[in-house]
Chain A
């Protein structure tokens, strides 16, 4: 594959990069909650 259409490129970036950003933040939320659950009050 040597060429990708402009809008296809934009949509690909939006879906993959936007999705991965949200997934990464979701993973971080889970990990922070796990870390906090080990906290002594």
Chain B
């Protein structure tokens, strides 16, 4: 009996039996609380639940001590496999200095399969393309330019981030929050600075869900009541033939990829999804793309991104800066979109309500609905929804295009030997 008591009373025994508690750090506890808040926002407040729930759960799973589901930051680990074992057995450790040889956890497997190689955001884009109807945009193609104007918040944020001391590659990843497009943000961050994946994806999805709260005050600030109450006619819009709708994704793919070939994974998959939808002969593939593929990818993407939210990486002043700059990015996108519409009105005979410019971001269809709501508040006779939907879909193209062109410019600089890490 005394032997048993001696064992139970020993520090080592208790430390190992209750290892979950003894290894829990304050950073992990805070991250578990943040994961719980994300789940709460998704479940109780309905803020982007499809993403915030798996992100929140992934965050909790990864921060519980000793679970070994995922290893972050990735640079600190080398994953054991047959080759490593063979080299290890003959005394050649294929490891960089300071790295630790570990077994892959299930979330490591998902990370390597779909995040590290940027596959998941691209699969998601096939689903987004299959769900998007570019009809309202094709009826009035000149509004496509507003989808470009709405991206200038990205560049303003880039300059701000650089001015306050973020490195170049960090600033690109932060600025892309202004695309208001989760998969694009994840794609760019994975490509240029994977350590920021957690804070950037959480900021991107949080702000996307807050579009109905963030955008209206900005819209009102940059427009007069007279501008907001302006009505827009639907009579001059010519219906679009199915042939035009089928040709559109092919044309966009060719034009954009000739200009920015390195954006092919983003634009190519978005337009592939849309072509499947419009060609009308692959109903099963469209159904799979917008349901099964999109759902499975969303789950794996959210879970893995959430799991990268390690306390050491997330709980820093940098994260606060990322959230502040992300907020500025979305506000300035809204303002630039409205200014774009105002500039368009100077040169155009047929005037548009400047509010529709605010929908030139990728948060579809939420932003279009917000524009319509603000328009009807100023004038109940005004019906801006379909015009705003057109601009909103152009915002989707614009955000992917801006990201693709940024990748092309950065790739060109790297090709010239410019070290962007300096």
Contacts and interface: CB of A to CB of B under 8 A. Distances in A.
A interface SS class:
helix
A25 B145 contact: yes
Contacts of A26: 145
A29 B144 contact: yes
21 contacts: A4-B420, A6-B163, A10-B162, A13-B158, A13-B409, A13-B410, A17-B405, A17-B409, A18-B155, A20-B260, A20-B409, A21-B401, A21-B405, A24-B259, A28-B251, A31-B255, A32-B244, A32-B251, A35-B251, A39-B241, A39-B244
Contacts of B240: 36, 39
Given A28-B251, A28-B252, A36-B138, A3 B402 contact: no
Contacts of A36: 138, 141, 238, 240, 244
Interface in A1-41: 1-4, 6-7, 9-14, 16-18, 20-29, 31-33, 35-36, 39-41
Q: Which of A1, A11, A12, A35 has the most CB of B within 10 A?
A: A35
Given A32-B244, A36-B240, A17 B155 contact: yes
Contacts of A21: 148, 151, 398, 401-402, 405
Contact of A9 (B162, B256, B401): B162
Nearest to B412: A16
B241 A40 contact: yes
Interface of B: 138, 141-142, 144-145, 147-149, 151-152, 155, 158-159, 162-163, 168, 171-172, 238, 240-241, 243-244, 247-248, 251-252, 255-256, 259-260, 394, 397-398, 401-402, 405-406, 408-410, 413, 416-420, 422
Nearest to A26: B145
Contact of A25 (B158, B159, B398, B417): B398
A20 to B, nearest CB: 5
Contacts of B241: 39-40
A34 B259 CA distance: 20
Nearest to A13: B409
A11 B159 contact: yes
Contacts, number: 120
Contact of B255 (A1, A27, A40): A27
B141 A28 contact: yes
Nearest to A16: B409
Contacts of A33: 141
A20 B417 contact: no
Contacts of B248: 32, 35
List the 4 shortest-distance A-B pairs measured between CB atoms, nearest first: A14-B155, A32-B141, A17-B405, A6-B162
A13 to B, nearest CB: 6
A31 B152 CA distance: 24
Given A20-B259, A25-B147, A39-B240, A12 B409 contact: yes
Given A28-B252, A28-B255, A35 B244 contact: yes
Contacts of B155: 10, 13-14, 17-18
A1 B251 contact: no
Contacts of B152: 18
Contacts of A14: 155, 158-159
